């Protein structure tokens, strides 16, 4: 098996479409009232499914975390350390919830964390000084 992408299950599709499109710059072409988003971002398939729509399709209900959660992260790379700092400033100014300010870690990566409107963690990082 080969990893092709990942999906997240969202409560408020319109809010999440605006965040990933307008704050993080994902090329989402679907309208804000869509049932699901299907796009390729830098060679990785990225999907957003409306929770109720997915539950109807699966014929099951599921539990979902509330608030900022640590179930997984979406990792975004930028070209260098300075770009990590700039991206963090830019996305938090546009409304991303700050979680961890840019920090250079012992393993040589400069990284920071934000959360999307539904509390999913997004990392922005680089290994290039």
- End-to-end CA distance of the chain: give it in Å, rounded: 35
Residue corresponding to tokens 């920071």: 112
pLDDT tens, residue by residue, 31-53: 999 999 999 888 899 999 999 99
Average pLDDT of the segment spanning 78-96: 98
The pair phi, psi for residue 78, each rounded to 5°, is -125, 170
Q: What is the pLDDT of residue 57?
A: 95
**The pLDDT of residue 63 is above 90:** yes
Q: In angstroms, how far is CA 101 from the centroid of its own chain?
A: 17
Q: What is the pLDDT of residue 97?
A: 98
Contact 17, 11 (CB under 8 A): no
Alpha helices in the chain (DSSP H): 13-18, 51-58, 81-93
Average pLDDT of the segment spanning 48-74: 95
Q: What is the pLDDT of residue 41?
A: 86
User: What number of helices (H) and strands (E) belong to the chain?
Assistant: 3, 7
Confidence tier at 14 by pLDDT (50, 70, 90)? very high
């Amino acid at each position: 098996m080969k990893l092709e992408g990942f999906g997240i299950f969202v409560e408020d599709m319109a809010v999440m479409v605006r965040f990933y499109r307008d704050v993080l710059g994902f090329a989402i072409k679907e309208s804000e009232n869509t049932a699901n988003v299907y796009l390729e971002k830098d060679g990785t398939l990225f999907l957003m499914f409306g929770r109720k729509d997915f539950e109807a399709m699966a014929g099951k209900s599921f539990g979902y975390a509330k608030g900022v959660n640590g179930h997984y992260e979406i990792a975004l790379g930028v070209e260098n350390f300075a770009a990590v700092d700039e991206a963090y400033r830019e996305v938090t100014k546009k409304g991303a919830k700050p979680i961890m300010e840019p920090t250079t870690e012992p393993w040589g990566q400069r990284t920071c964390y934000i959360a999307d409107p539904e509390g999913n963690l997004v990392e922005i990082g680089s290994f290039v000084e």
